[in-house]
């Protein structure tokens, strides 16, 4: 839920300085979705939804920066 499953499993094509951060951010996003799927208390569901959104935005921000840097030929 709440994930674009077309996201890459590996980040080998990213500039070196973004690979680990992008992989970690994607794992955080997946963990947040997993947590959301396991909770039922309304307060925890709300918390989990915020956590998912924050993790998604972090991942997307890193990916935008990495693509921009790769497009500029910086590594």
pLDDT tens-place string over residues 11-55: 878 888 899 999 999 999 999 999 999 999 999 999 999 999 999
Helix ranges restricted to H, the chain: 16-38, 42-71
- Residue 16: what pLDDT? 84
CA 39 to chain centre: 20
Split at pLDDT 50, 70, 90, the class of 1 is very low
Split at pLDDT 50, 70, 90, the class of 73 is confident
Spell out the residues 6+ positions from residue 14 whose beta carbon is closer than 8 angstroms to its own: 22, 66, 70
CA 15 to chain centre: 17
- Residue 37: what pLDDT? 97
Residues shown for the chain = 75
* Tokens describing residue 11: 């980040």
Tell which wins on pLDDT, 39 or 75: 39
Q: Note whether 28 and 37 are within 8 A (CB).
A: no
């Amino acid at each position: 839920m709440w994930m674009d499953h077309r996201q890459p499993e590996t980040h080998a094509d990213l500039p070196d300085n973004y690979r680990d951060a992008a992989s970690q951010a994607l794992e955080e996003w997946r963990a947040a979705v997993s947590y959301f799927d396991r909770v039922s208390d309304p307060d925890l569901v709300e918390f989990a939804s915020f956590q998912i959104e924050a993790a998604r935005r972090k991942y997307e921000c890193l990916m935008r920066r990495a693509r921009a840097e790769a497009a500029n030929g910086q590594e």
